[in-house]
């Protein structure tokens, strides 16, 4: 990265000292991650943001929903900054509050809303988390989805779960970790009237999966897994649970970005790995572990374009603006949404484990 920008970022951070705390998600670029005070998966970053009450400014190098969650979990006097406001998440955009409210109305009409516990993946907007908080549900991340679903199913006799917005995380967790069958799951398509489901299907389902997905993880294919195994029988396949069910079924290990990192750190020298997650992280792991063979589980490059929007020029601009006394790109969730979203997030933070 540009040495002049590196020097400016360093100087601005030094000038701000303890007043600023920089969080970096594992999918961030190397040029940005070098300035993170902590790195983590979305669960760890939510906890870390809440654990820094002395920092006046939280600069979030990640995507919009993560910065919103940090704002919800930090004190009112702390200001959260997202260096580029265009760093969103296409999956989070697939569930809008009005659409979720329509789905809830349909569940009410089918006579099942009383037994439905909503669970939303962290990758959702603050107003979806607020909806979930208002309806006695919980947030989850890829590192605690099973625990969150266990909690949800224990809330009511004959409970059903409405799982937002990632159908793959929901299905993979329910079927592979919790013993549900594929027939227990139905998919609610927000673009079709009634979600494309009959009232009977809503009554019979245990898991109602929102039709959302990650465009980055959706690219990994079962064919490539089969090809790699045919070429290298020793290869171990390690994937994120946002991958499709077909890919996850063929994997050796499945887990969050933090799990992926710990797995590679603990792996035997000489072991072979193909990793199905965002490319910045896979490249960093390959560079940090030259004693292991680490490859990317796709034929093409596959960055998360919105994570990549946070680059060094944006980080420098955000930090230097803070030094100059100007808070740019502040992420501020409105108080009513925040109140309910915090309840749903706090339930997640209080889960066992």
Instruction: Map residues 94-133 to x or -, x wherever contact with ligand SF4 holds by CB under 6 A.
Output: -----------------------------x----------
If one asks whether residue 257 binds ligand 13P (CB under 6 A), the answer comes out as: yes
User: HSE on the CB side for 352, CA within 13 Å?
Assistant: 5
Q: Which residues are CB-neighbours of 41 under 8 A, at least 6 positions away?
A: 25, 26, 141, 142, 143, 256, 257, 258, 259
Nearer to ligand 13P, 257 or 337 (CB): 257
Q: Which residues are annotated as a binding site for iminosuccinate?
A: 25, 42, 121-123, 142, 240-242, 257
The entry of ligand SF4, ligand 13P, none that residue 256 binds, CB within 5 to 8 Å by partner kind:
ligand 13P
Of 256, 280, 329, 337, the residue at the interface with ligand 13P (CB under 6 A) is 256
Of 74, 142, 221, 337, the residue at the interface with ligand 13P (CB under 6 A) is 142
If one asks whether residue 67 binds ligand SF4 (CB under 6 A), the answer comes out as: no
The entry of ligand 13P, ligand SF4, none that residue 90 binds, CB within 5 to 8 Å by partner kind:
ligand SF4
CB 274 within 8 Å of CB 286: no
CB 97 within 8 Å of CB 74: no
Size of the site for ligand SF4 (CB under 6 A): 13
Rg (CA), the chain: 21
Closest CA to 22 of 4, 34, 1, 37: 37
Phi, psi of 161 (to 5 degrees): -120, 135
CA distance 73 to 107: 30
The entry of ligand 13P, ligand SF4, none that residue 141 binds, CB within 5 to 8 Å by partner kind:
ligand 13P
Size of the site for ligand 13P (CB under 6 A): 9
Closest CA to 195 of 181, 205, 184: 205
If one asks whether residue 322 binds ligand SF4 (CB under 6 A), the answer comes out as: no
Structure tokens at 189: 């398509």
CA distance 351 to 353: 7
Q: Which residues are CB-neighbours of 82 under 8 A, at least 6 positions away?
A: 60, 62, 63, 64, 67, 310, 329, 331
The entry of ligand 13P, ligand SF4, none that residue 306 binds, CB within 5 to 8 Å by partner kind:
ligand SF4
Of 49, 89, 197, 274, the residue at the interface with ligand SF4 (CB under 6 A) is 89
Interacting residue ranges for ligand 13P, rule: CB under 6 A? 41-42, 89, 123, 141-142, 242, 256-257
Interacting residue ranges for ligand SF4, rule: CB under 6 A? 63, 89-91, 123, 214-216, 242, 278, 304, 306-307
């Amino acid at each position: 990265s540009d040495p002049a920008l590196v020097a400016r970022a360093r100087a601005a951070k030094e000038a701000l000292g303890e007043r600023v705390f920089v969080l970096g998600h594992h999918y961030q670029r190397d040029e940005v991650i070098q300035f993170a005070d902590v790195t983590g998966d979305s669960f760890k970053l939510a906890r870390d943001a809440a654990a820094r009450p002395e920092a006046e400014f939280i600069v979030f190098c990640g995507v919009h929903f993560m910065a919103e969650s940090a704002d919800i979990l930090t004190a009112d006097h702390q200001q959260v900054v997202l260096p580029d406001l265009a760093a969103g998440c296409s999956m989070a955009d697939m569930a809008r509050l009005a659409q979720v409210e329509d789905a809830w109305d349909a569940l009410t009409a089918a006579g099942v809303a009383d037994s439905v516990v909503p669970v939303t993946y962290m990758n959702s907007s603050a107003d979806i988390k607020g909806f979930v908080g208002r309806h006695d549900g919980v947030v989850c991340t890829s590192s605690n989805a099973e625990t969150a679903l266990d909690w949800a199913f224990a809330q009511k006799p004959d409970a059903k779960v409405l799982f937002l917005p990632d159908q793959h995380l929901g299905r993979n967790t329910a079927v592979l970790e919790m013993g549900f069958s594929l027939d227990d799951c139905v998919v609610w398509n927000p673009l079709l009237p009634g979600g494309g489901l009959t009232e009977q299907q809503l009554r019979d389902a245990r898991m109602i999966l929102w039709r959302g997905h990650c465009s980055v993880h959706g690219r990994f294919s079962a064919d490539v897994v089969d090809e790699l195994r045919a070429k290298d029988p020793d290869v171990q396949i390690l994937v994120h649970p946002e991958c499709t069910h077909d890919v996850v079924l063929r994997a050796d290990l499945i887990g969050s970005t933090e799990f992926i990192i710990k797995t590679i750190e603990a792996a035997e020298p000489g072991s072979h790995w193909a990793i199905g997650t965002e490319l910045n992280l896979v490249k960093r792991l390959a560079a940090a572990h030259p004693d292991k063979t680490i490859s990317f589980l796709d034929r093409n490059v596959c960055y998360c374009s919105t994570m990549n929007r946070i680059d060094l020029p944006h980080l420098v601009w955000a930090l230097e603006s803070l030094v100059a006394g100007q808070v740019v790109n502040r992420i501020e969730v409105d108080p009513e949404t925040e109140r309910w979203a915090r309840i749903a997030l706090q339930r997640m933070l209080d889960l066992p484990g």
